[in-house]
Amino acid sequence: MAVSYEMYQEQILDHYKHPRNKGSLPSATKNARDTNPLCGDEVVLHLKIDGSDRIADVRFEGQGCAISQASASMLTTIVKGMSLGDATALDRDAILKKLGIPLSAVRLKCALLSLHVLKVALGPKPDVSK
Amino acid sequence: MARKDRMAKPAKMLLNVPAIQADFPILKRTVRDKRLVYLDSAATSQKPKQVIEATSDYYSRYNANVHRAIYELGEESTREYEGAREKVADFIHAKAASEIAFTKSTTESINVIAYGYGLKGKIQKGDEILGTVMEHHSNHVPWHFVKDHKGAVLKYVDVADDGTLKMEQYDDLLTRHTKIVTVTLCSNVLGTINPVKEIAKRAHEVGALCVVDAAQAAPHMPVDVQSLDADFLAFSGHKMLGPTGIGVLYGKAELLEETEPLLGGGEMIREVHLGWAKWNDVPYKFEGGTPNIAGAIGLGVAVDYLTKLGMDAVRAHEMEVTQYALEKFDRLKGVTTYGPKDVKRRAGVVSFTIEGAHPHDIASILDVEGICIRSGHHCAQPLMERFDLPATARASFYIYNDLDDVDALIAGIKRVQEVFA
Ligand SMILES: Cc1ncc(COP(=O)(O)O)c(C=O)c1O
Instruction: With beta carbons under 8 A apart, name residues in chain A contacting B376.
Output: 38-40
Percent of chain B predicted with pLDDT > 90: 92
Nearest residue in A to B366, CA atom: A5
Shortest Cα distance from A122 to chain B (angstroms)? 27
Shortest Cα distance from A85 to chain B (angstroms)? 34
Confidence of residue B13 (pLDDT cuts 50, 70, 90): low
Inform me whether the C-beta atom of residue B120 falls under 8 Å from chain A C-beta atoms.
Answer: no
Ligand 1 closest atom vs CA B138? 4
Shortest Cα distance from A9 to chain B (angstroms)? 9
Task: Determine the residue of B109, B133, B136, B240 to mutate for testing ligand 1's pocket, defined as the one with the most ligand atoms within 8 A of the Cβ atom.
Answer: B136
Q: Tell whether the model's pLDDT for residue A3 goes beyond 60.
A: no
Task: State the total domains in chain A.
Answer: 1
A128 in any annotated domain:
no
List, by residue range, all CATH 3.40.640.10 domains of chain B. Answer: 51-308
Inform me whether the C-beta atom of residue B137 falls under 8 Å from chain A C-beta atoms.
Answer: no
The per-residue pLDDT for B390 is 87
Q: Is B377–A40 a contact, with Cβ atoms under 8 angstroms apart? A: yes
Question: B253-269 pLDDT, tens per residue?
Answer: 999 999 999 999 988 98
The per-residue pLDDT for B12 is 55
The per-residue pLDDT for B323 is 98
Rounded alpha-carbon distances, angstroms, from residue B72 to B60, B61, B65, B266, B289: 15, 11, 11, 21, 21
Assess contact for A2 and B413: CB atoms under 8 A.
no
A81 in any annotated domain:
yes
Mean pLDDT of chain A: 89
Host domain of residue A17: 11-122
Out of B32, B358, B390, whose CB is closest to A4? B32
Out of A6-20, B72-86, B137-151, B300-314, least confident range: A6-20
Q: State how far the Cα of B162 lies from the Cα of B302, in Å rounded to an integer.
A: 33
List, by residue range, all CATH 3.90.1150.10 domains of chain B. Answer: 3-47+310-419
A5 in any annotated domain:
no
Q: Domain holding A82: CATH number?
A: 3.90.1010.10
Q: In what order do the strands lie in the sheet with B335-337?
A: B335-337, B349-354, B392-396, B374-376
Superfamily of domain B3-47+310-419: Aspartate Aminotransferase, domain 1 (3.90.1150.10)
Q: State how far the Cα of A109 lies from the Cα of B5, in Å rounded to an integer.
A: 59
- DSSP label at A6? G
Confidence of residue A125 (pLDDT cuts 50, 70, 90): low
Mean pLDDT over B380-385 rounds to: 94
Instruction: With beta carbons under 8 A apart, name residues in chain A contacting B357.
Output: 66
Say yes or no: CB of residue B220 within 6 Å of ligand 1. no
Mean pLDDT over A9-15 rounds to: 90
Please give the ipTM for the structure prediction. 0.84
The per-residue pLDDT for B1 is 37
Q: Tell whether the model's pLDDT for residue A129 goes beyond 80.
A: no
Confidence of residue A126 (pLDDT cuts 50, 70, 90): low
Out of A7-16, A74-83, B125-134, B320-329, least confident range: A7-16
Question: B81-137 pLDDT, tens per residue?
Answer: 999 999 999 999 999 999 999 999 999 999 999 999 998 888 999 999 999 999 999
Instruction: With beta carbons under 8 A apart, name residues in chain B contacting A36.
Output: none
Q: Is B368–A63 a contact, with Cβ atoms under 8 angstroms apart? A: no
The per-residue pLDDT for B174 is 98
The per-residue pLDDT for A37 is 76
- DSSP label at B114? I
pTM higher than 0.95 for the full model? no
Instruction: Tell me whether strands B349-354 and B392-396 are parallel, antiparallel or unpaired.
Output: antiparallel
Q: State how far the Cα of B359 lies from the Cα of B368, in Å rounded to an integer.
A: 14
- CA atoms in the 13 A half-sphere facing the CB of B412: 28
Mean pLDDT over A111-127 rounds to: 87
Out of A118-127, B138-147, B386-395, least confident range: A118-127
Instruction: With beta carbons under 8 A apart, name residues in chain B contacting A43.
Output: none
The per-residue pLDDT for B6 is 41
Assess contact for B84 and B305: CB atoms under 8 A.
no
Assess contact for B230 and B212: CB atoms under 8 A.
yes
Q: State how far the Cα of B143 lies from the Cα of B154, in Å rounded to an integer.
A: 8
Confidence of residue A4 (pLDDT cuts 50, 70, 90): low
A84 in any annotated domain:
yes
Question: B387-407 pLDDT, tens per residue?
Answer: 999 899 999 999 999 999 999
Percent of chain B predicted with pLDDT > 70: 97
A23 in any annotated domain:
yes
Nearest residue in A to B420, CA atom: A13
Q: What is the CATH number of domain B51-308?
A: 3.40.640.10
The per-residue pLDDT for B261 is 95
Inform me whether the C-beta atom of residue A103 falls under 8 Å from chain B C-beta atoms.
Answer: no
Mean pLDDT over B36-49 rounds to: 98
Mean pLDDT over B225-247 rounds to: 98
Q: Please tell me which residue, A96 or B351, carries the higher pLDDT value.
A: B351
The per-residue pLDDT for B283 is 96
The per-residue pLDDT for B9 is 39
Mean pLDDT over B177-193 rounds to: 98
